[in-house]
Amino acid sequence: MLDMKFLRENPELVRQNIRNKFQDAKLPLVDEVIALDAESRAVKTEADSLRANRNKVSKEIGALMAQGKKEEAMAAKAKVTEFSARLAECEALEADYAEKIRKIMLVIPNIIDPSVPIGRDDSENVEVQRYGEPRTPDFEIPYHTEIMERFDGIDLDAARSVAGNGFYYLMGDIARLHSAVIAYARDFMIDRGFTYCVPPFMIRSNVVTGVMSFAEMDAMMYKIEGEDLYLIGTSEHSMIGKYIDKIIEEETLPHTLTSYSPCFRKEKGAHGIEERGVYRIHQFEKQEMIVVCKPEDSPVWFDKLWQNTVDLFRSMEIPVRTLECCSGDLADLKVKSIDVEAWSPRQQKYFEVGSCSNLGDAQARRLKIRVNGQNGKYFAHTLNNTVVAPPRMLIAFLENHLQADGSVTIPEVLRPYMGGKDVLIPKH
């Protein structure tokens, strides 16, 4: 959410940012919120004047009574009553304007970083760099669920009977591999200085609206009926929510946390052949990382975060690339975002396995996360990034480590988490 003072002083910059995100329907909101802000400030000025006059006249009443000037005192009391009545009207107007302004400001997108490429959607994202040599095997690689089935490692039919489409049972070595990746990712991030955390898996609505846009919320979140609770779509939401209404001492920054959680997503509009299996699902587990830091430090932390994911995948011998998300592909709160994509030997293309985002002070402003610094209080910057989400990681892992005989090799870094195994042998 933008600062109202910033918008008031830079309306054309805000309009151009809206155009750059191809959200021209929001352009009228700039003039609308500026007009509301002007009315709000005028009412506030009147209210301040009324309070001052009321206080001044109230002090005069006692003196008038002491002097025996009863009629003048009664007239002063009537004036105080008049001031109070109008002040109550002004305070109600102030609250009304504040709510209207907040609703609009929640919809106006954050200012994107100047380095972000301008583009309409994810088809115009820009490749930054590749890491590792993409594998092109001389044998056919089956769809990932077929690989899992050779190990008796997945049961989609049973999950469909229990919970419907978009769910799965992982079994045996595949389930163990899933847990091994999560455990390795946890230790990988701890070794990089992050504090491990298991957060709440449900959050209240004020946290939801603090960490994401309404469009994201509608497309992702499951609401608990009859309660002010939502299932988290990613632990980032719960982790950033940890700081709601907090004042952080500057010398304690940065706060670097890595969290494990299950994630729940509606996945509205997910269709097509690549949505089969475990590519796009309603429930999965994930290791996440977040940073709360000083504004001037967030660009450096942004680069550190996505590099962590690249290094994790490369340590498991999976080729990846980084993509700079274009303006139209950025969610409204994001300043800048890098996607990490893993190589799929079956499809001979890369697919997304993680996303790193710098949100500037947007979440902090919504959630009132402030820093107590040497020169006063200011809003923190927040960043987040996927360490690993095993359902998609499993696809990349199985395809990149599948051998011609159907076995799957285990890279050295994962062997301690797999009971020392260096290869998985299929049952079929």
The DSSP annotation for 323-381 comes to EEPPGGGS-TT-SEEEEEEEEETTTTEEEEEEEEEE-TTHHHHHHT-EEEETTEEEEPE
Is the pLDDT at 273 greater than 50? The verdict is no
Over range 35-40, report the average pLDDT.
97
Q: Is residue 149 flagged as an active site residue?
A: no
Is the sign of the CA dihedral 43, 44, 46, 47 positive or negative?
A: positive
108-112, 147-151, 161-165, 301-305: which range is least confident on average? Answer: 161-165
- Measured between alpha carbons, how far apart are the two ends of the chain, in Å? 54
Q: What is the pLDDT, as a whole number, of residue 271?
A: 46
Could you give the 3-state DSSP secondary structure of residue 408?
strand
d(C-alpha 50, C-alpha 109), whole Å: 36
Model pLDDT for residues 55-113, shown as the tens digit of each residue: 999 888 888 888 888 888 899 899 999 999 999 999 999 999 999 999 999 999 999 99
Over range 40-48, report the average pLDDT.
96
Q: Is residue 102 flagged as an active site residue?
A: no
Model pLDDT for residues 119-154, shown as the tens digit of each residue: 999 999 999 999 999 999 999 999 999 999 999 999
d(C-alpha 216, C-alpha 85), whole Å: 43
Q: Considering the candidates 40, 261, 298, 355, report the single residue annotated as catalytic.
A: 355
Is the pLDDT at 167 greater than 70? The verdict is yes
Model pLDDT for residues 364-418, shown as the tens digit of each residue: 999 999 999 999 999 999 999 999 998 899 999 999 999 999 999 999 999 999 9
Q: What is the pLDDT, as a whole number, of residue 276?
A: 67
Over range 197-215, report the average pLDDT.
92
d(C-alpha 212, C-alpha 218), whole Å: 10
Q: Is residue 261 flagged as an active site residue?
A: no
Pick the CATH number of 122-424 from 3.30.930.10, 3.40.50.720, 3.30.70.20, 3.10.20.740: 3.30.930.10
Q: What is the pLDDT, as a whole number, of residue 272?
A: 42
3-state helix, strand, coil split of the chain in percent (to 5) is: 50, 20, 30
Residues of the chain above pLDDT 90, percent? 88
Q: Is residue 315 flagged as an active site residue?
A: no
Q: Cα dist. 1→102, 196, 244, 335, 421 in Å?
A: 9, 29, 15, 11, 49
Where along the chain do its domains lie? 4-105, 122-424
Regarding the domain with residue range 4-105, which homologous superfamily does it belong to in the CATH classification?
Serine-tRNA synthetase, tRNA binding domain (1.10.287.40)
CB atoms within 10 A of CB 303: 12
Q: Considering the candidates 265, 321, 365, 366, report the single residue annotated as catalytic.
A: 265
Nearest-CA neighbor of 2 among 24, 22, 25, 26?
26
Strand-pair partners of 342: 320, 351
Q: Is residue 58 flagged as an active site residue?
A: no
Q: Which helix (H) or strand (E) holds 286?
A: strand 283-293
d(C-alpha 244, C-alpha 247), whole Å: 9
Q: Considering the candidates 186, 280, 365, 366, report the single residue annotated as catalytic.
A: 280
**Higher confidence at residue 219 or residue 193?**
193
d(C-alpha 75, C-alpha 9), whole Å: 44
Model pLDDT for residues 102-123, shown as the tens digit of each residue: 999 999 999 999 999 999 999 9
Q: What is the pLDDT, as a whole number, of residue 269?
A: 54
d(C-alpha 195, C-alpha 186), whole Å: 10
Q: Considering the candidates 346, 352, 407, 415, report the single residue annotated as catalytic.
A: 352
Model pLDDT for residues 319-361, shown as the tens digit of each residue: 999 999 999 999 999 999 999 999 999 999 999 999 999 999 9
d(C-alpha 195, C-alpha 259), whole Å: 8
Tokens of 322: 């980084």
* Residue 122 and residue 329 in contact, taking contact as beta carbons nearer than 8 Å: yes
Strand-pair partners of 46: none
Strand-pair partners of 130: 321
Tokens of 197: 């955390």
Q: Considering the candidates 40, 54, 392, 399, report the single residue annotated as catalytic.
A: 392
What is the average pLDDT score of the chain?
A: 94
- Amino acid making up residue 212: M
d(C-alpha 293, C-alpha 301), whole Å: 8
